[in-house]
Amino acid sequence: MSSTWFEQEFVPIIDNWVRLSGPLDWIDDLSQLIAEFYSKRAYLTTNYKLAVFQSKSCESDQKIMLFNVRRERSIEWFNIRERELIHGNNDKDMVCVKNITAKQLKSLGFDSSQIAEDEQKDTTYVVLLKVSGNKKESKALLFGENEQIFSWDLPQFNQITSPNQLLFQSNIGLIAFDLYNFSLCEYLRCNGVASVKWKSFPQFDSPLLKINTGFKSRYLCSAEICQMGRKGWDEFSKDVLVVCGCNGHTLMFDWGLYEWTTLPTNGCNQHNMYAYMYQWEARNNGSIVVLNGIAQKSVSEFDLHKHGWYKLPPTNYCHYQAGSTIRSGHVFENKETGLLSVMSYRTNVSPRAVIEVLDHRENLSHRAWKVLTHESQMLETLLPFNIFMSANETHCCIFG
């Protein structure tokens, strides 16, 4: 048994078994121990949340963690040897894509010869896509078996000069947005064709966008790919792209018609750059929720059917980390309760970890975001922290 094999395989097996299973029970068969480790790791990769720590000046802060708040456990998923791969010097956004196929990876510029041919047929992968403020430095990271990490450059943009937000949807592909012009976006089809280039959306020219409403009137607030109608129930259901600017102006792109539509302007709330947008399926058949932004706690809701904006209660905390140039929080819907949830981990404020929920079943006069104190404290315990993280401009991106 070589020392390399022992360090890379046997030690992680023992270490993770102890951390995941608590007190080590007596095991007669080593093969059972190994099998249990790999089944545990397979479970983690599908059911745990992912946290990526980036730092502008401290390599040791770079980490990729798996955590599960309910189980009160956290492990380092991969022993990141190439820590510079997740270096956050100029990153503007990051998206984690699960269940991506080898065919789709090929369209993103990945050399599929690095993966065994027999493995490509039925295997799906986890890939981390990063967009940088420098349009030539956008990268993709593929997490393979045996802690392998593949890194490559994404194709360069056509017109986008200040790339900011990234979205991915398997039927559409990868979409990128320009920070200083919220109507400027490009997409990359993931249909298995190699050497694919970014394509620009049809140009949207409207007097609405020419209205000067201040210094940041054209800046991107947030965007989301949404579903109109109930998939599988409504024969007219379709995917649409909704984009909001910091001035409240809202656009929708219909993939079927391949054209832009102007939606009502959000006049009930102010949202700055780096806001979060999420389609809350349990609320009004999929209303769109916009949360926070730089130094903002405001929350707005757009009803896709009534075509109107509504004000929701503000969050107790701003889930944007001051000084960061990336959306690092995670907005999601609890599938069991339908509660709208937002969680974030900020290294430069206290409390660092905050998880809040909103219940739409509550009476309007009493509806408010509630901080899950126990879960928040648990998250703060699970994820790493040192007193230098703030000075090192370290931030944590959380994914579902």
85 with 76: CB under 8 angstroms?
no
What per-residue confidence (pLDDT) applies to 301?
A: 93
Q: Does residue 37 fall inside a structural domain?
A: yes
Q: Does residue 13 fall inside a structural domain?
A: yes
What per-residue confidence (pLDDT) applies to 281?
A: 78
What per-residue confidence (pLDDT) applies to 351?
A: 92
What per-residue confidence (pLDDT) applies to 343?
A: 92
Q: Does residue 70 fall inside a structural domain?
A: no
Q: Does residue 12 fall inside a structural domain?
A: yes
Q: Does residue 395 fall inside a structural domain?
A: no
Count up the domains in the chain and report the number: 1
Q: Does residue 335 fall inside a structural domain?
A: no
Residue 99 backbone dihedrals phi, psi, to 5 degrees: 60, 40
Check residue 397 and report its DSSP letter.
E
pTM of the predicted structure, to 2 decimals: 0.80
What per-residue confidence (pLDDT) applies to 285?
A: 64
Q: Does residue 36 fall inside a structural domain?
A: yes
Show the domain range for 14.
1-20+28-47
Q: Does residue 338 fall inside a structural domain?
A: no
Q: Which of 113, 60, 13, 51 is nearest to 389 (CA)?
A: 60
**CB neighbours of 91 closer than 8 A, spacing ≥ 6?**
54, 130, 131, 132, 133, 325, 326
State the Cα–Cα distance between residues 111 and 182, nearest whole angstrom. Answer: 32
Series of mean pLDDT values for 10-residue runs along the chain (400 residues): 43 48 45 52 57 76 71 57 54 81 84 66 78 72 68 86 89 90 88 77 68 66 85 64 91 89 90 91 76 93 89 94 84 83 91 92 87 88 83 82
What per-residue confidence (pLDDT) applies to 288?
A: 92
